[in-house]
Chain A
């Protein structure tokens, strides 16, 4: 019984362990060899969060609707 349990644990360990080991190495490469990757994000420049525009009275939304209609007509959606 113990041998079987060890065998199953090894199967799980190899499947997950190999991949997590690879991920850990890839992360290390990214951390050590890629310098200055982080850049300023939305929060650094935005005064507040995005204000959602209402669908009814907005030009941007009406153009978006037109695009969706065209997209739908070409059978891509």
Chain B
């Protein structure tokens, strides 16, 4: 389906800046709710073909995306090939936006949609601004040339539920003693956005939050024009499991705060859910910006409502080493000066000197061990940013 301008017949696209349907040819703007559904040209399923046939894929690549549907573009008649969950895309021949209306209407229609507020240009500018002040990021990354920038509506379910759980946890006290903790409790969670596409990594999507739900509007397929979109591909059972996992994560984080120990992990969990109302199916906006650095893809996500940037970047080794050396020298000088009275106290007192030495030595090792957590967090996020899974999610679309 494409919606055409009533004045000049050019396909309309949704413009986040004016929050209206825009004709790029004559500049006419129409509010999505004012567009009449009559006269729309719908795409109907023509045939289902294999991934191998569609994109010439092989082996495991082919397994990731099983079936494709082929449609005819309502503007030029060219073939539009989309995967099993896509609901809107671009025609590669004429570049016009297309919505697979039969899919949006045949599958469960979303109840709400949060229209893009951030434009493509704004998303890129926000990312460049976030990079500009950072001293450790390589210049090549700061001056990145985006290979792909795609605005994609991601399927979510907005969940309100009572969550009950019994946890049996193991933790380390003072990094040595193994202790156990048990707790059973319940809690009411309201309006939790749960990402419901099996093709996108949950770890990244939760970091895109917060989404302010006041901007949700009743679903209208016109908001999809000019953007890509995916419908949910989770069955009711899988959605239940995803919701339980998300609420368990929140529940566990809260319990974890009360435990004075390290390496906390749960050995047993028994979550039960009681939905306060049926989860609302909604589509939320995300910009995916992909660029290559060191021959590796990096896909950075920008929240299409708030502009929050999610992703991690490798550091410049030279700048990193310089910063490390400088910090070590500065801290050594500072602590040495502060410790001078301790040195005077230790004069002639060998046991006290040995005590101070051991405290300093093991205290230092403990501090570095804690500090490694920060570095590890960044390394984990870099892995997600470079993940093929995310890049494939963005790349395997037409246009």
Contacts and interface: CB of A to CB of B under 8 A. Distances in A.
Contacts of B185: 50-53
B168 interface: yes
Interface in A5-39: 5-30, 32-39
Query: Mostly helix, strand, loop or mixed at chain A's interface?
Result: helix
B370 A55 contact: no
B360 A15 contact: yes
B166 A61 contact: yes
B360 A12 contact: yes
B336 A13 contact: yes
A59 B383 CA distance: 41
B7 interface: no
Query: Mostly helix, strand, loop or mixed at chain B's interface?
Result: helix
A39 B320 CA distance: 27
Categorize the interface residue count of chain A.
Answer: 35 or more
Nearest to B369: A19
A20 B331 contact: yes
Given A15-B363, A48-B188, A23 B371 contact: yes
A20 B367 contact: yes
B391 interface: no
Contacts of B360: 11-12, 15-16
B310 interface: yes
A60 B166 contact: yes
A52 to B, nearest CB: 5
B207 A30 contact: no
A39 B306 CA distance: 14
Contact of A9 (B208, B268, B272, B336): B336
B141 to A, nearest CB: 10
Nearest to A64: B166
Contacts of A20: 327, 331, 335, 364, 367
B145 interface: no
A73 interface: no
Contact of A60 (B164, B333, B353): B164
A6 to B, nearest CB: 6
Contacts of A38: 207
A23 B209 CA distance: 28
B135 interface: yes
B343 A15 contact: no
Given A26-B372, A71-B267, A13 B333 contact: yes
A11 B357 contact: yes
Given A16-B364, A37-B377, A40-B209, 10 more contacts: A15-B361, A21-B331, A29-B315, A30-B377, A30-B378, A35-B313, A36-B208, A45-B192, A51-B186, A71-B268
Interface of A: 1, 4-30, 32-42, 44-53, 55, 58, 60-61, 63-64, 67-68, 71, 77
Closest 8 CB pairs of A and B: A13-B336, A17-B332, A21-B328, A5-B343, A23-B371, A36-B310, A8-B343, A15-B360
